[in-house]
Amino acid sequence: MSAEPRTSGHSDHVALVDVNNFYVSCERIFDYSLRNRPVVVLSNNDGCVVARSQEAKDLGIATGEPFFKVRRLMDSHNLAVRSSNYELYGDISARVMELLGRFGTWQEVYSIDESFIGLNGTLEQVRDTAVQIRAAITQSIGVPVCVGVSATTGIVAYSSVAYSTRSSEMLSGITKEVS
Ligand SMILES: [Mg+2]
């Protein structure tokens, strides 16, 4: 682990860390009433769904679905609806990325809720680090993440990382499909 994250360098493994259901997970940090129930976040004008909790996905709600089509689920399935709060999401994202950077030999932020980081060590050591990352982010920030790891050698070509990491085997038990 390095004190200062670097944006390039050598690493034995590359990890892709992804916050699960990011917008909804941000909303849940400060509102316990949103836990263990279907939640959707709406677009700027509250017109359509832009993010869903797993429970909302399980109800068959699609991204982009107009709000008026899912409104009935608020009564029938206890669906919670929130307007988007991009200031909050940006703030949580910055905190997640800063924390992740402390674990990596290098870091490449890929999106608002995804970052690649370089990790050194054996697969077993990296697996332990992945568990620590999950615990640190959950405890410090309060959002759930999944961590996918693939082996690499030498300097990583970032353009190929996304493909190779997404197609790599995910560590069982601590990861899920990267989305
Ligand atoms: Mg995500």
Average pLDDT, the chain: 84
Q: For residue 11, what pLDDT band results from cuts at 50, 70 and 90?
A: confident
CA 40–ligand 1 middle distance (angstroms): 14
CA 146–ligand 1 middle distance (angstroms): 8
Residues 117 and 109: their CA atoms lie apart, in Å, by 8
Radius of gyration of the chain (CA): 17
Flag whether pLDDT at 10 surpasses 90: no
Flag whether pLDDT at 158 surpasses 50: no
What pLDDT sits at residue 33? Answer: 97
Taking only the tens place, the pLDDT of each residue in 79-127 is 999 999 999 999 999 999 999 999 999 999 999 999 999 999 988 899 8
3-state secondary structure of 58: helix
Taking only the tens place, the pLDDT of each residue in 119-148 is 999 888 998 999 999 999 999 999 999 998
What pLDDT sits at residue 151? Answer: 80
- Whether the CB-CB separation of 175 and 146 falls below 8 Å is answered with yes
Q: H-helix or E-strand containing 57?
A: helix 54-58
Count the neighbouring beta carbons within 10 Å of the beta carbon of residue 76.
8
CA 132–ligand 1 middle distance (angstroms): 19
Residues 136 and 145: their CA atoms lie apart, in Å, by 10
What pLDDT sits at residue 54? Answer: 96
CA 51–ligand 1 middle distance (angstroms): 10
Is pTM beyond 0.85 here?
no
CA 21–ligand 1 middle distance (angstroms): 5
- Whether the CB-CB separation of 127 and 168 falls below 8 Å is answered with no
For the segment 71-80, the average pLDDT, to the nearest whole number, is 97
CA 76–ligand 1 middle distance (angstroms): 27
Flag whether pLDDT at 160 surpasses 60: no
